[in-house]
Amino acid sequence: MRDVPHQRPPQLDAILEDAAHAGFAMSCEDRTGSLLATLAASKPDGRFLELGTGVGAGAAWLASGMTPGAHLVTVEADAAVQAIAHQHLAGDARIKFVHADADTWLTQADGLFDFAYVDCRPGKYLRLPDLLALLKPGALYVVDDMLPQDTWPDEHQPRVDGFLERLPDVPNWRATPMSWASGLVVAARI
C-alpha cells in the first residue's frame, strides 16, 4: 500500500515554499496532514482548534477537510511565522488566527471544540487537563511528532516519553499511539 496522499490543499506548496525561505522546518508532513483532513471531514460544521499554527500547513490540511459551516481557531505565539499562514489562508472566513502563547490562551479559552490538533508543548506536555476540558464528548484530539525529529532539542525525548507513559491514565479518553508518519496519537474524548 502506498500511503502518499493524493488530495493536497491547493495552498500547501506555496506555504511550504515560504516556510523553506523563512527557515521554518516544523510543518506537519503530508501523511499527518491527510489524516487531519480525513478526520476533520468526520465533524461536519464542527468547531476546530489548532495549537501551534506555525506557517499554516496543518491549518490548510484541516480546512481542506472541514465542511463550509465549520470553524477553526488556530493559535501561534510567533507572529512572523503565523504571518505566512495568514498570507495564504486569510481568505478562508472559517479560520480565525489568534496571536498568543498557547499556554496563556488555554487559561482564557472558552467554548467547546469538536477537534483539537496540538502541535506545540501546551495542550500536549503542558496543560493537557485544560485542553481536555475544552473538548466535547466524542471530540477528537491529535498530536504529531511523537517519533524523534531532527528539530528536537536534546532535552525533548523525556517529555515525549512521559506523555506517552501517561496516556493510559488520562481520564475520559481513548487514545491510540501510532508509529506512523512523524509518530501520532489520535484520541477521542469520552
pLDDT tens-digit map of 125-139: 999 999 999 999 999
pLDDT for 4 equals 75
- Say if residue 85's pLDDT is above 70: yes
d(CA 140, CA 39): 8
Across the range 67-95, mean pLDDT stands at 97
Across the range 1-30, mean pLDDT stands at 88
Name the band, by pLDDT with cuts 50, 70 and 90, for residue 178.
very high
List the Cα angle 79/85/89 in 5-degree steps.
135
Judged by DSSP in three states, 119 sits in coil
Lowest mean pLDDT of 4-8, 47-51, 56-60, name the range: 4-8
d(CA 16, CA 18): 5
**Where exactly are the structural domains of the chain?**
28-189
- Say if residue 50's pLDDT is above 80: yes
Place of cell 490540511: 61
Q: Is the pTM of this model over 0.85?
A: yes
Name the band, by pLDDT with cuts 50, 70 and 90, for residue 78.
very high
Place of cell 479560520: 95
- Average of per-residue pLDDT values in the chain: 94
CATH of domain 28-189: 3.40.50.150
Distances 128 to 40, 56, 86, 95, 124 between C-alpha atoms, Å = 21, 22, 27, 23, 6
